[in-house]
Copies of this chain bind each other. A is one copy, B any other.
Amino acid sequence: MRRLQATLAETAEATTRLLDDWLAPVPGPVGRLVEAMRYGTLNGGKRLRPFLVVESAALFDVPRAQALHAAAALEMVHCYSLVHDDLPAMDDSDLRRGRPTVHKEFDDATAILAGDGLLTEAFAVLADARTHPDPAVRGELIAALAAAAGPEGMVGGQMIDLSPERSRLDLEGIKQLQALKTGALIIFACEAGAILGRAPKAARAALVAFAGHLGLAFQIVDDLLDAAGSAEELGKPTGQDEVLGKATFVGQLGMEGARAEAEALIEAACTELAIFAERAEVLRHTASFVLQRRS
């Protein structure tokens, strides 16, 4: 586990360096926009999604620099969604990773535009030859990311999350919501590795199935942390689900039941990796790590 955390930290740093390069400061009034984009991305996130891209790509011997580009693009999309999600019109959150959210540090308009800019830039990164020399591969990544981030994926999930039906969702409904809201990008993370590596269909399908289980487990752990974790460790307020009257895995299954469900999902996720044998050791450890995370 300690070795995994070192590898995670290394990839997180490499991703941050690349984001820092792509989002280089500019002078003038546009500078404030780029500052907000940087603030929303260069803030010490865990970079779990980039790590999944890099480790999935490593299964197919994809050059690390290529995988990191796809990882940076995905992280831009993840961070844009957080910036918009935190807005007063959405979740109205003042705190993210222990710091004021982008609209608190800047202002609402700047946060809206910074999110828009990050989403746009993500596609610029994927369209860049450094992501992959073959434009067909880049195109496949772009189509997959757009599908994962669009109405049939992440923004669709955000919409359900804000809907009046949200508080009345049953277990199946919560699963569907989370499959879109957080699952789609986590699936893209692993699928991106397969796309970059022109993986055989079966390998790609295995990674998608792995990521599907992992994403759901990740969200259940999120619910558990929100219900039981400390605001200090988490870097954001806890107990928010209950305050907002959101139906959660914990609400449906109880703490112990949710914990058991997450464990079962991680086991199912790891089973999907069988075809990669010991090559998928890091991904298996990552799955265990998701179960044990405290923030």
Contact = CB atoms under 8 A, between A and B. Distances in A.
A202 to B, nearest CB: 24
A112 B128 CA distance: 27
Interface in A206-261: none
Chain A contact residues, majority secondary structure: helix
A89 interface: yes
Contacts of A163: 29, 32
A89 B115 contact: no
B30 A160 contact: yes
A146 B124 contact: yes
Contacts of A33: 151, 155-156, 159
Interface stretch (A42-50, A62-70, A137-145, A280-288): A137-145
Contacts of A146: 120-121, 123-124, 127
Contacts of A143: 124, 127-128
Interface string A109-137: 11011011101110110111000001110
